Structure 1
Amino acid sequence: MAGRRRWSTEEILDTAADLLHTSDAESFSVRKLAAVLGTDSSSLYRHFRNKTELLRAVADRILAAAMDGYRPDGDWKQRITATAQRLREAFGRHPQLAAIWGRYGSGGTGSRLVMEELLQALWASGLPEEEIPSRYHRIVILVAALIASEAGIATLTPGEYEQGMEQFRVAVLGADPGHFPALAHFAREIRPLGAAGGDAFDEILAAHLARIEAAIP
């Protein structure tokens, strides 16, 4: 009787990423992954000690793919912007995995590549060294939040999106001026979350980098 196939780490991660496209981190399990691969969970635990370690590895692959072929170019703001856009594009292709990055931060190669470039760019900005770690953390939190926000919209089904739009129209256009005067006044100009994701991402990131620039001696 032929033995079960031995799956490589890369093949396991590829299959895990595919499975996460149709589920989330909460419903994902090593048992489900093993069933898809046609093996048992114990064989996967030879590669990853637990579900968290596996999810971290999946997220790290997205980060590594985002930084593949990257070469620093331009000033410090351009470098940070280019890195953020690469992360945004990478998770835009895998929106279901965006939340995993924020929750299961990894210490793998992809994570180190991102951290190194952001820290190098801030180091080149002229900021006092003691401020660089806190500035770095704020940039990562901002970029991760913006990416997760866009991903949340991207993962909606057409039915869910239309239902949300209908609720938005009722809430905004039907607002009682007596109780919600500002909302009623601006109702025609207010757009739903995600309607201008691209512009919002660029503007918010640029504004944050401008604040950093203003703090440089």
Structure 2
Amino acid sequence: MTTRVPQERSRRRPTRSGVLLSEELIVATALRLIGEHGPEALSVRRLGTALGCDPSALYRYFHGTDDLVLAIADRIIGDAMAGFAPGDDWVAALREMARRVRAGYLAHPRAAAFASYRVTRRQNEIRAVETGIGLLLSAGFGPADATRLYLTFIDTVLSHAAMDAAFQALPRQQRESDHRAWSEVYQGLDPASYPALTSARRELHAMGESSFEEAIDLLLEALRARAPGSRPR
């Protein structure tokens, strides 16, 4: 069954309050509700109330909440990739792409938990995949390697982005408590039982920071080294 609503059913319609209903407005309102109340706020009834329309009107635009989730995920990708124009340096372009994806999920941390691992099969995602595989093809990888390596790249990016977003979505008190653990609990461990942690205790504060940048650097260094143009003749 198709995941897209037929075009003739996606006409803009005003709500009871006079607001012009559209797919874009529904997605934006869903993102706002999730940001304020969490993923559990994503229901047709609550959306209808927030939009001032009968909940059944939403089915003119989406088959159900899962279809809406895919649209939300695609909206996050679209916002993250807006204005992205890869240059001649494919490594620099992939690095910027990675940072944009992470920033997109950090902008909507409470939506990242259920959006980051979905396949949206919509235009923003399709354009992003086209761009990523195209960059690896431009590096000299064949189609099979470019596809497989892009999957490795984007899965790494999305995993870190979702984890960072999930941490950002925690209440401030919990985030601060987790940060303090590295400078409090881990500093008082028994050296005889934990010799490695004792030797690195002064550096453990970095464990409370995101490892995103270093992970992407390591991955891109490996990709550059494996690119056909970088191999010795």
Bin the TM-score by the shorter chain. 0.7 to 0.9
Q: Is the 8 A contact 1:153 1:194 kept in 2?
A: no
Query: 1:68 is matched by which residue type in structure 2?
Result: A
Aligned to 1:95: 109
- Equivalent position SS for 1:45: helix
Q: CA deviation at 1:27?
A: 5.2
Instruction: Could you tell me which runs of 5 or more consecutive residues in structure 2 were left unpaired when the two chains were aligned.
Output: 1-14, 229-233
Q: CA deviation at 1:118?
A: 0.2
- Equivalent position SS for 1:49: coil
TM-score if structure 1 supplies the norm length?
Answer: 0.87
- Equivalent position SS for 2:45: helix
Of 210, 214, 218 in structure 2, the residue corresponding to residue 207 of structure 1 is: 218
Superposed, which structure 2 residues align to 1:1-217 within 5 Å?
4-5=16-17, 7-26=21-40, 28-191=42-205, 193-195=207-209, 197=210, 200-217=211-228
Percentage of pairs with the same residue: 29
Query: 1:55 is matched by which residue type in structure 2?
Result: V
Q: Is the 8 A contact 2:137 2:143 kept in 1?
A: yes
Q: What is the number of residues matched between the two proteins?
A: 212
Q: CA deviation at 1:192?
A: 5.5
Deviations 1:12-41 (A, max 9, x none): 111001011123335532222222223333
Instruction: Could you tell me which runs of 5 or more consecutive residues in structure 1 were left unpaired when the two chains were aligned.
Output: none
Q: Is the 8 A contact 1:165 1:192 kept in 2?
A: no
* Distance in structure 2 (CA, Å) of the matches to 1:166 and 1:211: 34
Q: Is the 8 A contact 1:150 1:194 kept in 2?
A: no
Deviations 1:133-172 (A, max 9, x none): 1101101101101211221232232222222234444431
* Distance in structure 2 (CA, Å) of the matches to 1:42 and 1:28: 15
* Distance in structure 2 (CA, Å) of the matches to 1:140 and 1:99: 16
Query: 1:214 is matched by which residue type in structure 2?
Result: A
Query: 1:211 is matched by which residue type in structure 2?
Result: A
Q: CA deviation at 1:110?
A: 1.0
RMSD of the alignment, in Å? 2.1
- Equivalent position SS for 2:37: coil
Q: CA deviation at 1:106?
A: 0.7
* Distance in structure 1 (CA, Å) of the matches to 2:61 and 2:207: 40
Query: 1:4 is matched by which residue type in structure 2?
Result: R
Query: 1:100 is matched by which residue type in structure 2?
Result: F
- Equivalent position SS for 1:190: helix
Choose 128-137 or 32-41, whichever is displaced more: 32-41
TM-score if structure 2 supplies the norm length?
Answer: 0.81
Task: Report the CA distance shift for 1:99/1:193 in structure 2 as closer, same or farther (over 3 A).
Answer: farther
Query: 1:207 is matched by which residue type in structure 2?
Result: L
Deviations 1:61-84 (A, max 9, x none): 111122222222132112211211
